Amino acid sequence: MTVERRELSIGGRTIPLEIHRVPRARRIILTSLPTKGVFRLSLPRRISLAKGMEFVSERHDWIADALTRWPTIQPVGHGSRVPFNGEDLLIEWEPKAGRRAVLMGNKLIVGGPEEHVPARVARFLKEAALKDLTERTVALASAHQLKVAAVSIGDPSARWGSCSWQQKIRFSWRLICAPEFVRQYVVAHEVAHLRHMNHSADFWAFNAELYGGPVTPARAWLRAHGSNLYRIGV
């Protein structure tokens, strides 16, 4: 599947448009992806790009309406706050501090040029996420004699984790911003897929066993607050 990127101008805003060629698609589909901040245009093999862009133009009002429901991105900079492990961290920019962000209590000290603050906060969060989620995954899998081939992080728009047939588990880095019980639930969910690559009754029973308690509170937290994690402007 090939991807081309363009931009839309809607109400004075410039919005990214991803154009996907989907060989098996039977019709043109335009999708709003608020958590990624893009619109996706899926085109069948034989539909021209010009026809696809005409389709987008005809849906100008629909796009404008969809934008009103997108989460407001929260800029990250000196004095702003970002969620971390279910709590808020205060970002403090100190020009003479080191290049790597340093956690000090409920503060994250970030040095270097001020325009680099968002990137350095992102680096801190992603490194913390990879370390935390890898340790949890390996420990839980080992405790139940399950093999995990690799653990990685990304920024998917529609799921918090995934497990492949190759026993590779991938998580959203944004989970580091959620409370610990939520991260542990997502880890248990993906580790359970190492044994059951489905969502059968056996899977859910094993998921609950791995988690060690009812999964409803964690799932409820993600439904209620998960979209807010995509507002972090890094």
- What pTM value is reported for the model? 0.77
Do residues 103 and 46 share a domain?
A: no
Cα–Cα separations (whole angstroms), residue 192 to 140, 163, 172: 10, 9, 17
CATH of the domain at 192: 3.30.2010.10
Identify whether residues 36 and 103 lie together within a single domain. Answer: no
Q: Note the pLDDT of residue 34.
A: 82
Which pLDDT value is given to residue 230?
84
Cβ–Cβ < 8 Å for 210, 191: yes
Same domain, yes or no, for 133 and 219? yes
Q: Where in the sequence is the domain holding 52, given as residue range(s)?
A: 3-67
Whether residues 99 and 189 fall in one domain? no
Q: Are residues 153 and 229 in the same domain?
A: yes
Provide block-wise average pLDDT over 10 residues at a time, the chain (234 residues).
81 87 89 85 91 93 88 87 94 91 95 93 97 98 97 88 96 96 97 96 95 92 87 81
pLDDT tens for 68-80 read 888 777 889 999 9
Whether residue 14 is found in the same domain as residue 83: no
Question: Which of 67, 95, 111 is the endpoint of a domain?
Answer: 67
CA distances from 199 to 44, 142, 210 (A): 30, 22, 15
Q: What's the pLDDT score for residue 1?
A: 55
Residues 110, 138 within the same domain:
no
Please count the structural domains in the chain.
3
Regarding whether 131 and 107 lie in a shared domain, the answer is: no
The whole-number pLDDT of residue 123 equals 96
Residues 128, 118 within the same domain: no
Supply 104's token pair.
Answer: 């000090």
